[in-house]
């Protein structure tokens, strides 16, 4: 069972990180170069599936697989284990990722509004801030996960 949950966790995390990078850097880069009219068309074409893919894979990564994996592996046996060593790093990573979503949601809302009103400068600003937030969160969480794996 642990192997299945671990596979699910790694698979969902890969989809989440890949989607964030893809939408921020590849699609975002294309939207920067697009005309405001084309930007509007592209954004509305990808909007129905971008959110569910990213947020669905995040939910699976954190809840269905990550937390379950911690308990199944024996790394966390009580609530107190979440405040020491391996559990503390997992707790910090969870707080950072969930907290970053609280900051990312208004940025996404600003990007959508800028696309809908065809305000290029507001779009560039919101995208730049969204990229900076997501990139820093991904680097911090990857460093935390690496330190957990290496036992540091």
Question: In whole angstroms, how far apart are CA 20 and each of 114, 120, 131, 136?
Answer: 20, 21, 9, 12
Distant-in-sequence, close-in-space partners of 63: CB < 8 Å, separation ≥ 6: none
Q: Which domain holds residue 21?
A: 2-150
Both tokens of residue 80?
């107190």
What is the rounded CA–CA span in Å between residue 140 and residue 149?
14
**What would the 3-class secondary structure string for 82-93 be?**
HHCHHHHHHHHH
Domain count, the chain: 1
Which of 45, 20, 47, 22 lies closest to 101 in space, CA to CA? 20
Give the global pTM: 0.83
For every one of its 152 residues, what pLDDT tens digit does the chain have, with 9 covering 90 and above? 878 888 888 899 999 999 999 999 999 999 999 999 999 999 999 989 888 999 899 888 887 767 787 778 777 777 777 787 778 888 888 899 989 989 999 999 999 999 999 999 999 999 999 999 999 999 999 898 888 778 76
């Amino acid at each position: 069972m642990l192997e299945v949950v671990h596979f699910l966790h790694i698979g969902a995390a890969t989809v989440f990180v890949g989607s964030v990078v893809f939408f921020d850097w590849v699609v975002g880069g294309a939207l920067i170069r697009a005309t405001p009219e084309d930007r509007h068309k592209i954004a509305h074409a990808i909007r129905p599936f971008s959110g569910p893919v990213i947020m669905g894979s995040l939910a699976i990564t954190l809840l269905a697989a990550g937390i379950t994996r911690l308990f199944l592996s024996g790394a966390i046996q009580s609530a107190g284990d979440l405040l020491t060593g391996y559990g503390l790093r997992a707790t910090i990573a969870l707080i950072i990722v969930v907290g970053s979503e609280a900051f990312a949601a208004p940025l996404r809302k600003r990007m959508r509004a800028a696309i809908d009103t065809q305000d290029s400068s507001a779009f560039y600003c919101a995208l730049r801030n969204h990229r900076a937030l997501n990139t820093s969160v991904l680097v911090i969480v990857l460093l935390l996960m690496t330190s957990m794996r290496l036992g540091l």
